[in-house]
C-alpha cells in the first residue's frame, strides 16, 4: 500500500548523525505498521519504521504522520538510526495526541531521551 501523509505535523530539532526515523506506538501497545497501514500488536519490527529526512533550511526533521493512523494517544519514538531493531535505543520520546480528522497533533509532551 502507498502511504499518504498529512502536512508537516511536528518538527524535531535534535541533531541526528544518521538518517532519522520514527515509530508510533499507541497507549495500548499497538504499533503502527507503516508497511501495511494498520495498528498491530506484533508487526514485523522493520515495518514499523517511518523514514524521515532532515531539512537543512529549517535545521530540523519534519514529521508527516501517515493519514491512515487513527486518532488517539501515541508514543512517538525518534531514532538516530536508519534501521533500528528492538535493541536500538530511541534518541527522543514524545507523547502525542493525534487527531486524524483534523490531520494534526493536538497535544505533545517531551518525555526525554535515552542519552
pLDDT at 1: 46
Q: CB neighbours of 101 closer than 8 A, spacing ≥ 6?
A: 71
- Average pLDDT on 39-48 reads 94
pLDDT band at 4 (very low <50, low <70, confident <90, very high): low
pLDDT band at 46 (very low <50, low <70, confident <90, very high): very high
Its pTM stands at 0.86
Burial-class residue 32 by CB neighbours within 10 Å (0-12, 13-18, 19+).
Answer: buried
pLDDT in tens, 86-112: 889 999 999 999 998 888 888 889 898
pLDDT at 105: 87
C-alpha cell at 16: 541526528
Amino acid at each position: 500500500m502507498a502511504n499518504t501523509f498529512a502536512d508537516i505535523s511536528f518538527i524535531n530539532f535534535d541533531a541526528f548523525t544518521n538518517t532519522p526515523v520514527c515509530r508510533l506506538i499507541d497507549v495500548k501497545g499497538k504499533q503502527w505498521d507503516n508497511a501495511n497501514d494498520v495498528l498491530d500488536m506484533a508487526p514485523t519490527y522493520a515495518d514499523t519504521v517511518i523514514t524521515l529526512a532532515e531539512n537543512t533550511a529549517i535545521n530540523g526533521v519534519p514529521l508527516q504522520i501517515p493519514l491512515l493512523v487513527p486518532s488517539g494517544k501515541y508514543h512517538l519514538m525518534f531514532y538516530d538510526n536508519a534501521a533500528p531493531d528492538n535493541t536500538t535505543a530511541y534518541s527522543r520520546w514524545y507523547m502525542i495526541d493525534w487527531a486524524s480528522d483534523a490531520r494534526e497533533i493536538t497535544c505533545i509532551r517531551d518525555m526525554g531521551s535515552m542519552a
